[in-house]
Structure 1
């Protein structure tokens, strides 16, 4: 299973990563992005590449 690791200190909640994710893994909640559906993550890295703040630091695979 994979999941993006998001720094809540760096995330500005812009939603660019949410739009970039082809699997609908992320959502904006309370002004920051969170993992909403980690079972669907395919570790493609699109969210990591598109985040303008560098708030997604890696894709962790369990």
Structure 2
């Protein structure tokens, strides 16, 4: 199953990915998007598509 990988150097903490994730996989922690519930990720890619900074990618485990 794919999992989100966040480039913390590119993340601006806008929170768009947190808002679009249907499975509550991401949260803002110290103003940076962070994977908090990796097992809930279904690989839909909504976070990747909506990130304006292209700071998220999905990787296979």
Unaligned runs of at least 5 residues, structure 2: none
The alpha carbon displacement at 1:61 in A equals 2.2
Structure 1: stretches of 5+ with no match in the other structure: none
Give the alignment's TM-score, normalised by structure 1.
0.92
For each residue in 1:3-56, what CA deviation from the matched residue of structure 2 results, as whole angstroms up to 9, or x when unmatched? 201000000011000001000000000010000000000000000000011111
Superposition TM-score, scaled by structure 2 size: 0.93
The number of residues matched between the two structures is 61
2: CA distance between counterparts of 1:27 and 1:3?
Answer: 15
